Amino acid sequence: MQPNQWLPLTEYALRSGMSISTLRRKIKSNTIDFKMEEGRYLIRSDELTENAQGGYHSSDYTEEDEGDDQLEDSVMDTFSAARSGPPKNTSGITGNNFGVPSEIMQLRQEMQRIREDASTTQEQDSLKLRALDARVSGLAKKLDLFAEQFAELKMLVKLFEEKLDRRA
């Protein structure tokens, strides 16, 4: 790999074995060298050798990893991995599926993470909906109050007009 090469977040995650959420936390805390181009994070490949951990760990996920695009990223990663076909046999042994159990475990972990992300997103949406409902009911009360005040003002205008008509 060339020095000073900038990799997209997903490619860096695949090469380093770190989860995308861990990389996002590192970017947020400014502990990894990154730049943003066309709305995408790029990470310097020099960081790859320093930070390679060798795989996804369930401890990489925390409650702070909430984000609207995080679920989309993980789903897209899963689909791109599925489109790339079965894993290449690097063991030199042909006809055996020695890598399958670990792949199944990784997919199960990814499915669990996606479920957690979906649950978190659902909870966030529920909270947002309740906040919007409260705001709408508050605005409705204000509207009723203003309508009542408007009716009173119309009545006062009518009374003053009647007084003026009697004087004239």
Q: Which two tokens stand for residue 110?
A: 């990814």
Give the SS3 label for residue 44. strand
Query: pLDDT for 92-130, tens place per residue?
Result: 444 445 556 888 889 999 999 999 999 999 999 998 999
CATH assignment of 1-55? 1.10.1660
What b-and-e string marks burial along 34-46, b requiring 16 or more CB atoms within 10 Å of the CB? beeeeeebbbbbe
Q: Looking at residue 149, what is its pLDDT?
A: 95
The structural domains of the chain, with segments of one domain joined by +, span: 1-55
What is the sign, positive or negative, of the torsion defined by CA atoms of 147, 149, 155, 158? Answer: negative
